[in-house]
Amino acid sequence: MLFSSPEFIFLFLPATLAVTFLVGRYSDQGAKLFLILASAVFYIVSGPEDLVVLALALVANFSLALAIERGHYTRLLLTIGITLDVLILGYFKYFDFVTDTINSAFGHEVSHGEFRHLPLAISFFTFQQIAFLVDVARKRIRRPNLVNYIFFLFFFPHLIAGPITSYLPISRQIELKRVFTPRVRNLCFGLALFSVGFAKKVTLADPLGAYIIPFFDKQSELGFLTAWLAAFAYSFQIYFDFSGYSDMAIGLGMMFNIRLPLNFASPYKSFSIQEFWRRWHITLSNWLRNYLYIPLGGNRHGTGRTYANLILTMVIGGIWHGAGWGFVLWGLAHGVGLAVNRWYGRSGLPSLPRWFAWLLTFLFVTAVWVLFRSTTLAGALTQLQVMANPLTALTDSYRPFARPAELNRMLVLVGISGAIALLGPPAYRIARATIGPNHGLALRTALYCGALFALALIGLTGGTSKNAFIYFRF
């Protein structure tokens, strides 16, 4: 079930809010249990087998957490838990990729076996469960509560594609008395943020996603201008798709009085690749830093080791996103970019002009998105070669990819998307204005968010929005 679907907006969400607040008037625990049940229903729409995998992983991890907390064989049990989580993720997500690689490299015919359905959100709940085990082993979590743990994993706003959450912040919030009672400020903020995210998804990301399909299907026919146009369009598509989803998720959480962590902070305004990763998919960046980069040694063992840790962390981050060499190279490119960024900042060389630093960062991020989007590595490398060769503009043509009217609409949409991404305020600031002390501004902003919601709804009911969220099967 998509957040941007009519059945979610007009049926599931209002019914779930109403019943949660009704039960919450009499029992905090009852409202909590109902939300877990509602979240399971939300998740099971994608297939009953998905819920079975999540439930079995939940039971195994919580049992191991209780054993770890006792303090006996902590390192061994933690290793078993992490290994189990990685193996589950690896079996469903990477087995075919590994066997295909072996077959290609050695001429073997390792069988894929039976088809493996990729459970929805497996990458996200795997990272959250690993973090839970590590925090229990580090004594940050004491006496974990089973119901709170299930709620932390199942709460439907963040269940499918994040933000990646931690057990403690969620557990502390749902332990508060009368937490599941309606609060006008939170409802206003949540509705406004949901509306902005909804509009990002339906009016910007989905149309861009439809326009770029022919470009990435025919990468061998691209020229310099069409290759860059496709790259810019995808760069804005994935940003508005994923940040829009995150806005909707955080807004939904606030409607239920649960604060979820910020996930995007205008990343395309960054002046370095390091700053980009402080603004893009913030909860993933924090997870990679806290549970991978720092345990690897961080910057504590010399310059060379620091660069190696940065690169390895980002390669693993790339692999987490998907099973394919394009994702590996995407992560490698960002790891090398971070290492170069760190080296330059400590080299004593003069700082780059801010306009040039921004342009370099934006073009780098845009170019390597090609590795992320392309179906084949060969196609990605072909497009990147063309993007590095301005001479191909002499023979470039848009005709294999779009009719003149479609191209014009695509150009306009890329221009609007770029202006919003580079000049517009973050969505959370827009939503926060609806509950600010300036009542006139609050009213105007609320009307603006309502207009965005109506515009997105027209696009949704008109059939222009057909794409699932990009991160739904990561």
CB-CB contact of 132 with 65 (8 Å): yes
Between the alpha carbon of residue 111 and those of residues 104, 117, 130, 322, the distances in Å are 13, 16, 30, 21
Burial status of residue 105 (CB atoms within 10 A of its CB: 0-12, 13-18, 19 or more): exposed
Calculate Rg over the CA atoms of the chain: 23
Q: What are phi and psi of 305, to 5 degrees?
A: -65, -35
Instruction: Give the pLDDT confidence score for residue 301 in this predicted structure.
Output: 86
- One-letter amino acid for residue 43 of the chain: Y
| pLDDT (tens digit per residue) in 308-346 | 999 999 999 999 998 889 999 999 999 999 999 999 999
| pLDDT (tens digit per residue) in 182-239 | 999 999 999 999 999 999 999 999 999 999 999 999 999 999 999 999 999 999 999 9
CA diameter of the chain: 71
Asked if residue 261 has a cis previous peptide bond (ω within 30° of 0), the answer is no
pTM: 0.94
Between the alpha carbon of residue 370 and those of residues 174, 269, 416, the distances in Å are 41, 20, 21
CB-CB contact of 3 with 247 (8 Å): no
CB-CB contact of 387 with 360 (8 Å): no
Query: What is the C-alpha separation between 434 and 445, in angstroms, rounded?
Result: 6
| pLDDT (tens digit per residue) in 249-273 | 999 999 999 999 999 999 999 999 9
| pLDDT (tens digit per residue) in 413-439 | 999 999 999 999 999 999 999 999 999
Q: What are phi and psi of 350, to 5 degrees?
A: -65, 145
Q: Considering the chain, what is the average pLDDT of its residues?
A: 92
- The DSSP-derived string for 17-86 is HHHHHHHHTT-HHHHHHHHHHHHHHHHHTT-HHHHHHHHHHHHHHHHHHHHHHTTSSHHHHHHHHHHHHH
Residues annotated as part of the active site: 321
